[in-house]
Amino acid sequence: MWDTILRLPTGIFYAQGVKANVIFFDNRPASPDPQTGQVWFYDYRTNVHHTLKQKPLSESHLEDFVACYNPAARHDRKATWSEETPDGRWRAFSRDELLQRDKASLDLFWLKDATMTDLDNLPEPDVLMSEIMENLEAAMEQFAAASRA
């Protein structure tokens, strides 16, 4: 039934650390047979940094996803990831590949996280500090809301 998952950066809708995905469904009549042969994934989470206040997500950030999604001709999609292009954010997994995984998780990874392998690519200290402050403020707001409940 669904054919696309857009992985969004953590914390863009709520607090840092909260993962968000957008799942695109096709409206089809029910069937006893599987209707999904493959699922396309766009990873806009790995190596992407957004915050609610300092660097919010905007429509322009998703232009590459829309081009890859190819709404006018969805059956003509082309993956941007391959063994030769390991930084490509757009790729498909077959139904069989997904069923071989832990069925409870579609949290797939294929891009290298630059912050885990290259400490020289960390954001500037003032950016890190503002993200930490934003996370702490969000945590304090959650604690305050929980204590009022």
Q: Tell me the average pLDDT of the chain.
A: 82
User: Global pTM?
Assistant: 0.69
| Residue 45 or 52, more confident | 45
Residue 60 — pLDDT band, cuts 50, 70, 90?
very high
Per-residue pLDDT at 14 = 67
CATH number, domain at 121? 3.40.50.150
Question: How many Å apart are CA 3 and CA 74, to the nearest integer?
Answer: 10
Closest CA to 19 of 40, 54, 50: 50
Q: Are 20 and 12 in contact (CB under 8 A)?
A: yes
Arithmetic mean of pLDDT, 64-74:
93
- What confidence tens digit (pLDDT) does each residue in 80-103 have? 999 999 999 999 988 888 888 776
What 95-104 contacts at long range (C-beta under 8 Å, 24+ apart), as own/partner pairs, is 95/34, 95/36, 95/37, 95/38, 95/39, 98/39
> Among the listed ranges 26-30, 38-42, 126-130, which one has the minimum average pLDDT value?
126-130
What are the structure tokens assigned to 140, written together?
């304090």
In this predicted structure, what is the pLDDT of residue 2?
Answer: 58
The parent domain of residue 134 ranges over 2-148
Maximal C-alpha separation, the chain = 55
> How many structural domains comprise the chain?
1
